[in-house]
Structure 1
Amino acid sequence: MSVRTARLAVTAGLVGLSSMALIACTSNTPEAEKTTTTGTQQVAAKGNDEPGKKVKIGFSAPAADHGWMGAITKATQAEAKKYPDVDLQVAEGTNDVNLQISQVETFINQKVDAIVLLPFDGAALTAVATKAMQAGITVINVDREFDSSFAARTTVLGDNHGMGVSAGTYICEQLKGKKDAVVAEIAGIDSLPLTQERSKGFKEALADCGLKVNNRVAAEFTVESGEKAATNLLQAAPKIDAIWNHDDDQGVGVMAAIKNSGRKEFFVVGGAGSANVMRDIKSGNSLLKATVIYPSTQGADGIRLARLLVQKKALGDLVEVEVPRVVQLYAPVVTKDNVDQYLPTAFES
C-alpha cells in the first residue's frame, strides 16, 4: 500500500464516522443511559427526531438549471417536511448574486432562526452571511464556501478533491498496471475551484499507479457543452482506454457524442451520481461502468444540522457535545456491484 493509498484509507474511515454520526443524530429510538468503564454515567443525545422548539429556517440556492441543483432543493424541502417543528421558507432559486443577497437580507428582517445557504458565489455572499450571523441567526453554508469562518456556524461540503481521487483510483484498478494506457478527462468549468480540485485529485491518483491524463478537455456542466467537448476529445485522441467525465449532467451530451462516434474501445466513469447513469451502470450494456458520488443531499443535511443547532442538540455518535464546524461528505464509487445502495437517493439528469 502506498503512502497516499494509506492516507486515503484513513480519510475514508474518518468520513465514514462522520456519516454515521449524521445518521445517528436523527435516530428515532433514544438510547438508554450507559455506564462507562470509569463508572461515570453518560447519556447519549436522545430523541433528536422528536418534536422540539419550533425552528424557522430560510433556504436559498442557485437556480435549478441542471439535475444536481434541482435535486439539492427538492431534497432540502422533502427533509424539512419530515419535521413538524421546522418551518422552511424557500427563496426562489437564482444565479443573480445581488438577488440572492437580497433574499438573505429578507430572511434577516424576518428574524428566522437559521439560514441554509448554497451561494451562487461564496465570496460574494460572505458579507451578508456574516451579517446574519451577527444578528444571531445560525447560518449553514452548503457546497460553495464563504471567504470567512465568521460567515457560518457550520459548513456542509462535498469532496471535490476526493471525487478525483476516487475516479483515478477506480481507473487504476480497472487498467491493472497497463502502463501504456491512454486516460482522458472531460472536466467542468475550468475557472471554478471545484473543477480544479477534481482534476488535481484525479491526477494524483493516476500518478500513484504510474498513469497520467493523456487528453483533457473542459465543458460547462451542460448537455450541449458536454457533447461538444467530447466530440473534440474523440477527434483529437484516436486511442483511449478510459474517460473520466466530471459531471453526469454534461455526461448526457458526452455519451451522445460517444454514440455518434461509434467508438467502443474504452470505458467511461461519470461524476456526481445521476440516476440515469446508475441505471446504465446497472444494465451492464453501457460503456459507463462507474460514477463517483457528489451528494445532492447537502441541503437536506443542512436542514438537519440547522435544526439541531437551534434546538441545542448534538450528533449522537460523537463524544463532543457540539455540532462540528465542517461536515465533509464522502465521494464513493458506484459500480454494478453496489448501485442498488445509491440509486434511491440519486438525482435525475
Structure 2
Amino acid sequence: MKRYVSLLNLVLFACAAAGCTQANPTNSAAEAADDKPKIALIMKSLANEFFSTMADGATQHQQANADQYNLVVNGIKDERDISRQVALVQEMAASGVDAIVIAPADSQALVPALRRAMQEGIVVVNIDNRLDHEMLTKEGLEVPFVGPDNQAGAQAVGELLAGNLTRGDAVAILEGLQTSENGQARKAGFEAAMLAAGMKIVDSQSAQWEMSKANEVASSMLSEHPEIKAILAANDNMAMGAIAAAKSVGRHEDLLIVGFDNIAAVQDAIRAGKVLATADQHGDQLAVYGIEKALELLREPTAIVADVETPVDLVTVDTLSK
C-alpha cells in the first residue's frame, strides 16, 4: 500500500513539474463537439429600453436555435460611452468570436476597431446605426447594414404631426448624437416633413439620445421659444424627456410630441395622449435580422455583401388599439 501511495505521489509530482492540468473528459468532449459559430452582439446603452428589448429578442432567437450558434451579448452604460464600445469590439475579437453584430454608438469611431476584427477573419454586420460610408470606402471595407430607412420613418412621423398643426407653426427638434448616421437621418426626415408642410423650425439641438439631457434641452427650448407648438424627438427616450420638460413649464396640455423607437413607456404615453406618434423599427427583431445575416455570411463566405432593409412602421393611438 505504501509502495502504491509513493508511486502515485511520484506521478503527481512529475505531472506538476511538467505543468500538467487535470483533464475533464466530459468538458473536453463537449468543447470538441461544439463547433457552432460564436456571435457577439454589441449594442449601445442597455439602460435604453430599445436596446434591452433588442437583447431579449436576440437571446430568445439563440435559445430557439441553440443547435446553430452561440451568442454573447454586450452593451455600454450610456449612449456616449464610445471608448467602451471600441474596447468591447477588441475584447470580442480577442476572445475568438466568428462574427460581430454591432449597433455602433458612433458612425466613424468604431470603424478602425472593426477593420482590425475583419482583418482577423471575423464577419461584421452593422445594425441600427449605419457606419460612415466614406470611411468604409476609404478603408476598403464591405460591411452590410441591416436596418430600417431611418429618414423615411422619421418623415412619416413628421408628416403625421404636420397634419395636427397649422402652416407656419413653430416646432423644435431634439437630435441624437450628431456623429451618428441614424440621428442625422432622423433629423433630415423630420426637417423634410416640417419644411414641406410650411412649419417653422425655430430650434434644433442634440440631447444625445438621453432622457435627462432631453428634459434639460427641451425645457430651455420652451423657455426661449414659448411659441413652440411641437417637439420632434429622434428617439423615444428623448420624447420622454420632452414630456417631463413640458410638464415643468406648464405645457403638458397643449404641446405635441413625437418620437422614434416604440418603447413600452412611449406606447403608454401615446395611449395617455402625452405623445402623438412614434416609429416602430421592431427592436425585438432588429438584432435577429443582423444575426441571421451573419450566419448567412459564415455559411457562404463568398456571398455578395448586401444591405438588408428592415421594416419601420408608424405607431399612433389608432394602431395601438388594433
TM-score normalized by the length of structure 1: 0.68
Task: Tell me if 1:179 matches 2:153.
Answer: no
Shift of residue 98, structure 1, vs aligned partner: 5.3
Counterpart of 2:258? 269
Aligned to 2:310: 329
- Residue aligned with 1:62, SS: strand
- Give how far 1:153 is off: 4.2
Q: Distance in 2 between matches of 1:80 and 1:236?
A: 49
Looking at structure 2, the residues matched to 250 and 171 of structure 1 have their Cα atoms a distance apart, in angstroms, of 17
Shift of 1:252: 2.3
Matched, 1:161 2:120: no
Matched, 1:202 2:185: no
In structure 2, the partner of 1:86 is 69
8 Å contact 1:79–1:303 — kept in the other structure? no
> Residue 125 of structure 2: which of 130, 140, 145 is its match?
140
- For 1:287, the equivalent position in structure 2 comes to 274
Name the SS of the counterpart of 2:318 in structure 1.
coil
Contact 1:130 1:151 in 2 (8 A): yes
Task: Tell me how far apart the structure 2 counterparts of residues 134 and 223 of structure 1 sit (CA, whole Å).
Answer: 38
Q: Distance in 1 between matches of 2:229 and 2:82?
A: 41
State how far apart, in whole Å, the 1-side matches of 2:82 and 2:300 are. Answer: 32
Per-residue CA deviations over 1:42-80 (Å, capped at 9, x if unaligned) read xxxxxxxxxxx8332122233423222333333322222
Quote the residue 2:17 is aligned against: none
Change (3 A) 1:136 1:244: same
List runs of 5+ in structure 1 lacking aligned partners: 1-52, 314-320, 342-349
The aligned counterpart of 2:295 is: 307
Q: Is the 8 A contact 2:239 2:258 kept in 1?
A: no
In structure 2, stretches of 5+ residues that fail to align are: 1-34
Choose from 240, 259, 262 the match for 1:252.
Answer: 240
Q: Are the equivalent residues in 1 in contact too, given 2:173–2:203 (CA < 8 A)?
A: yes
Q: Deviations over 1:99-146 (max 9, x none)?
A: 544543444444433221233334333233233333333211223315
Partner of 2:52: 70
Residue identity over aligned pairs, in percent, reads 25
Counterpart amino acid of 2:71? Answer: L
Alpha-carbon spacing, 1:183–1:324, altered in 2? closer, same or farther (3 Å):
same
Letter of the 1:171 counterpart: L
Aligned to 1:16: none
State how far apart, in whole Å, the 1-side matches of 2:62 and 2:202 are. 45
Counterparts of 2:81 and 2:168, CA distance in 1: 46
Residue 41 of structure 2 corresponds to residue 59 of structure 1? yes
> Contact between 1:108 and 1:132, CA under 8 Å: does it hold in 2?
yes
Instruction: Name the stretch that deviates more: 92-101 or 216-225.
Output: 92-101
Instruction: Say whether the 8 Å CA contact 1:141–1:152 is kept in structure 2.
Output: no
Residue 112 (structure 2) aligns with: 127
Q: Partner amino acid for 2:286?
A: Q
Residues 251-301 of structure 1 deviation map (CA, whole Å, 9 limit, x = unaligned): 2222122123332223221222211111222x3x32312112344243222
Indicate whether 1:213 and 2:201 are aligned.
yes
What is the distance in 2 between the residues matched to 1:247 and 1:326?
Answer: 23
1:200 maps to amino acid: A
C-alpha separation in 1, matches of 2:74 and 2:269: 34
C-alpha distance in 1 between matches for 2:273 and 2:83: 43
Q: 1:256 to 1:170 in 2, by over 3 A?
A: same
SS in 2 for 1:184: strand
Bigger mean CA deviation after superposition, 125-134 or 298-307: 125-134
For residues 65 and 123 of structure 1, the distance between their equivalents in structure 2, rounded to whole angstroms, comes to 23
User: Are residues 213 and 295 of structure 1, via their aligned partners in 2, closer, same or farther at CA, if it must alter by over 3 Å?
Assistant: farther
Give the 3-state SS of the residue equivalent to 1:124 in structure 2: coil
| CA distance in structure 1 between the aligned counterparts of 2:254 and 2:168, rounded to whole angstroms | 15
Q: CA RMSD in A?
A: 3.0
Q: Which residue of 1 aligns with 2:97?
A: 112
2:142–2:305 CA contact under 8 A, matched in 1: no
**One-letter amino acid of the counterpart of residue 280, structure 1:** A
